[in-house]
Structure 1
Amino acid sequence: MTLICLVRHGETDWNAEGRVQGKTDIPLNQKGREQAELCGESLNPNDYDVLVTSPLQRAKLTAEIMNNYLELPMIEMEDFAERSFGDGEGLTFEERTRLFPDGNYPNKEDRHSFNQRVMGAVNRVSSMYPGKRVLVVAHGAVINQILHTLSNGEIGSGKTKLLNTCISNIHYQEEKWIIKNYNQIDHLTKKV
């Protein structure tokens, strides 16, 4: 059985301000660094075999901070980068609602291509690490798309607000992916 533990990156200033980040490469803020520390500290290094991260700096730094506790082999995978939200990136909720009331941002990565990219990455990880326990640090829309696809739309995109450094676990067994849990944040109740 292959296990993938999905971790959303720590907080950025744009997260705190309610701005859409997408592919814009925004760094972690201090709270985000603290969240990454708490997340890494809470995980048992013996529970994982490898760490995979999006190359965007907010995810990569979250992974690096966590890996100070885990000391796992770490690789970057471009296909776990956040969805491009085109002209919506950098806008607050109010600005997005005013400028694009239908939620369609020009130049946004279309949902079908995004889903193919993200689910392709999940399946590639499963092929590369069969029977292994893989920790993946990615982004809110990426993880929500995975949850949406695996739950047939019951959770995930448009329904689930994933918190920074939340943990979601999926398992591949009997030829299919199963969601074990999602949006777990017990590790954050210590300080942040």
Structure 2
Amino acid sequence: MICLVRHGQTDWNYLGKIQGMTDVPLNDVGRRQAEECREYVNSQDWDFIISSPLKRAKETAEIINKDLNLQIIEMEEFKERSFGIAEGLTLEERTIQFPEGDYPGQESKQDLVERVMSGIDTINRSYPGKKVLLVAHGAVIGTLLSTISNGQIGSGRTKLMNACISNIQHVDDQWKIHNYNQIDHLTM
């Protein structure tokens, strides 16, 4: 079982700016959201935490881990998608400057899918039967959900909220989504 946790809010999330690989830390709301995630997952047994190496995901993982005291493993495969020169722009600014949605320097959708699915396959092969908390980013989790559901949910279809929780499991040689974008544990 893998519990996917999107990082808590950052100032750029609040302002509607696209972050990508820009290493933006959590804000106070994001830290509180991470604490609420910790309270939610604390009642379950986990084997370890995997995190993107970007600050907002690492800090979320560290806050969640406060009482669990698990090993945190950083995996490059779960860094956010690079949005090239669009990083730091609001939706309005992006729409004006890049009406087609093609951002110079952006990681291709196919490269993102291959990177993220390679990471999830590595977890499945390396830690069979383990319960994993995976702290990552909106485009990463959206890509996982979209790939697993053959485009029914996830990227382009589901706006994943900060600090949302989604659960997937590898059963009978395929990934299954138990739930996604769960936010009942959040008060903010």
TM normalised by structure 2 equals 0.98
The one-letter code matched in structure 1 to 2:164 is C
> Does the CA-based 8 Å contact 1:51-1:134 persist in structure 2?
yes
Q: Distance in 1 between matches of 2:92 and 2:50?
A: 34
Residue 73 of structure 1 is aligned with which of 62, 71, 77? 71
Q: 166-175 vs 37-46, which deviates more?
A: 37-46
What's 2:122 paired with? 124
The one-letter code matched in structure 1 to 2:68 is L
1:82 aligns with 2:80: yes
Q: Distance in 2 between matches of 1:151 and 1:46?
A: 26
Q: Distance in 1 between matches of 2:67 and 2:164?
A: 17
What's 1:140 paired with? 138
Q: Distance in 2 between matches of 1:69 and 1:160?
A: 31
What's 1:59 paired with? 57
> Does the CA-based 8 Å contact 1:45-1:70 persist in structure 2?
no
Secondary structure, in 3 states, of the residue corresponding to 1:47?
coil
Q: Distance in 1 between matches of 2:9 and 2:131?
A: 25
> Does the CA-based 8 Å contact 1:43-1:70 persist in structure 2?
no
- How many pairs align? 188
After TM superposition, the structure 1 = structure 2 runs for residues 40-51 of structure 1, keeping only pairs within 5 Å, are: 40-44=38-42, 46-51=44-49
State the Cα deviation string for residues 150-170 of structure 1 (Å, max 9, x = none). 000011101100001100000
Tell me how far 1:28 sits from its aligned partner. 0.3
Q: Distance in 2 between matches of 1:179 and 1:101?
A: 33
What's 2:160 paired with? 162
Q: Which runs of 4+ in 1 moved over 2 A?
A: 44-47
Task: Calculate the aligned-residue CA RMSD, in Å.
Answer: 0.8
Tell me how far 1:46 sits from its aligned partner. 4.0
Tell me how far 1:70 sits from its aligned partner. 1.7
Q: Distance in 1 between matches of 2:52 and 2:117?
A: 14
Tell me how far 1:106 sits from its aligned partner. 0.5
Secondary structure, in 3 states, of the residue corresponding to 2:65?
helix
State the Cα deviation string for residues 97-150 of structure 1 (Å, max 9, x = none). 000000000010001111000000001011111011110000000000000000
Q: Distance in 2 between matches of 1:51 and 1:185?
A: 20
Where structure 2 has 5 or more consecutive residues not aligned to the other structure, the ranges are none
TM normalised by structure 1 equals 0.96
Q: Distance in 2 between matches of 1:69 and 1:20?
A: 32
After TM superposition, the structure 1 = structure 2 runs for residues 88-107 of structure 1, keeping only pairs within 5 Å, are: 88-107=86-105
Secondary structure, in 3 states, of the residue corresponding to 1:25?
coil
